[in-house]
Amino acid sequence: MTLSFKRALQALLLGAALPLATLAHAEWPTDNIRLVVPYAPGGTTDILSRKVADMLQKELGTVVVENRPGAGSTMATAQLARGGRGADHTIVMASPGHTIGPMIYKSLPYDPVTDFRFIRNVIEIPNVMVVPADSPYDSVGEFIEAAKNKEMTFSSAGVGSSIHMSGELFKTLTGTNMTHVPFRGSGEALPALLSGDVDVSFENLPTVLPHIQSGKLKALAVTSKEASPFLPGVEPISKIAADQGLGDFATTAWFGVIADDSMSDEAVQKLQAALDKIVADPQFLTFIEQFGGEPAEQAGDAFRQYVADDVQRWSRVAGAAQLD
């Protein structure tokens, strides 16, 4: 066999193998999907993430949930932003900590808007302005008038939480005298509110709903733009106190799936399609009722813009509260 014939035969065999190699290319996902929860087990983010993971498995294969708490969710987010091996199969359940964290931790190695792919927002949960049952204030207006003339305290689940920042936004827009009292989570903050040790809180709806229903707390308003079906008769702050500087007040706790910006288009498209099915599933809609949550709509560029707007909102609040 001559050398030229060998080369011709090798070229022929290589050309024949190319279609086989193309067919052998595996479609995404080629490995288990990792859904990272940037908080400890047991909280709202963890419970929601495990439900989403369970339903994603029916669409895309094995999904492993991994808790990586620390520094207000920024530790897990920083690890995601570093990318590297496995980045095409790793997603994070992001929440307001993603947009508030950069206001608190100035040396973060990532930009919360430009360094990620925003796959889909999943649900939104309003906060509720609540006071103890024996509070003398029965309306937002009454509370504002009192807080302009005396020092008030408001509790939160910690510095930089959406509960804390909702209180700071309220304080900034109304010019009221309010002192922040942070706790190590809502589990510690709630007893102080129930006992009247603090005057008010802007807690997540799931945390306070049972106590509102039992009469142990009074709900003065919700913080979302629209009323919540889970609190009939309780109106948004922006509507009932627009004449007192709160016409633009709107805060919600949002939960959505993000990935490192190196994730492939194929992966993003498949994840978006799967999450679209989940969010529309009656089983999922029934599940999120326990959080007082409603399905979100933003995906892709719309979700990115939603996050960018959230960053700007909290940047202004953090500046006014001298958190930066």
* Residue 294 included in any domain: yes
pLDDT, tens only, 55-80 = 999 999 999 999 998 887 888 999 99
* Residue 285 included in any domain: yes
Residues 189 and 151 in one domain: yes
Band of pLDDT at residue 25, cut at 50, 70 and 90: low
> Would you say 224 and 184 are in contact if contact means Cβ atoms under 8 Å apart?
no
Residues 292 and 185 in one domain: no
* pLDDT of amino acid 24: 46
Residues 214 and 239 in one domain: yes
pTM of the model: 0.80
For residue 178 the two structure tokens come to 């309010």
> Would you say 99 and 311 are in contact if contact means Cβ atoms under 8 Å apart?
yes
Neighbouring C-beta atoms of residue 92, cutoff 10 Å: 27
* Residue 48 included in any domain: yes
* Residue 18 included in any domain: no
Residues 168 and 200 in one domain: yes
Residues 316 and 286 in one domain: yes
* Residue 13 included in any domain: no
Rounded CA separation 286/279 (Å)? 10
Residues 139 and 232 in one domain: yes
Q: What percent of the chain has pLDDT over 90?
A: 63
pLDDT, tens only, 199-238 = 999 998 988 999 999 999 999 999 998 899 889 999 999 9
* pLDDT of amino acid 200: 98
Q: What number is the average pLDDT over the span 176-203? A: 91
* Residue 3 included in any domain: no
Last residue of a domain, one of 221, 244, 267: 244
**Residue 44 or 131, more confident:** 131
Residues 223 and 118 in one domain: no
Residues 129 and 232 in one domain: yes
Q: How many domains does the chain have?
A: 2
Domain carrying residue 201: 125-244
Name which of 150-159, 182-191, 285-294 the model is least confident about.
Answer: 182-191
Residues 225 and 192 in one domain: yes
Give me the amino acid identity at 71: A
* Residue 6 included in any domain: no
Residues 203 and 220 in one domain: yes
Write down the residue that tokens 């014939």 correspond to. Answer: 5
Residues 139 and 181 in one domain: yes
Residue 21 has pLDDT above 50, yes or no: no
Last residue of a domain, one of 188, 215, 244: 244
* Residue 24 included in any domain: no
> At 237, which CATH number?
3.40.190.10
> Would you say 130 and 97 are in contact if contact means Cβ atoms under 8 Å apart?
no
Last residue of a domain, one of 194, 218, 244: 244
Burial of 191 (0-12, 13-18, 19+ CB in 10 A): exposed
Collapse the DSSP code of 126 into the 3-class scheme (helix H, G, I; strand E, B; otherwise coil) and give the result.
strand
Residues 175 and 192 in one domain: yes
> At 52, which CATH number?
3.40.190.150
* pLDDT of amino acid 187: 82
* pLDDT of amino acid 174: 93
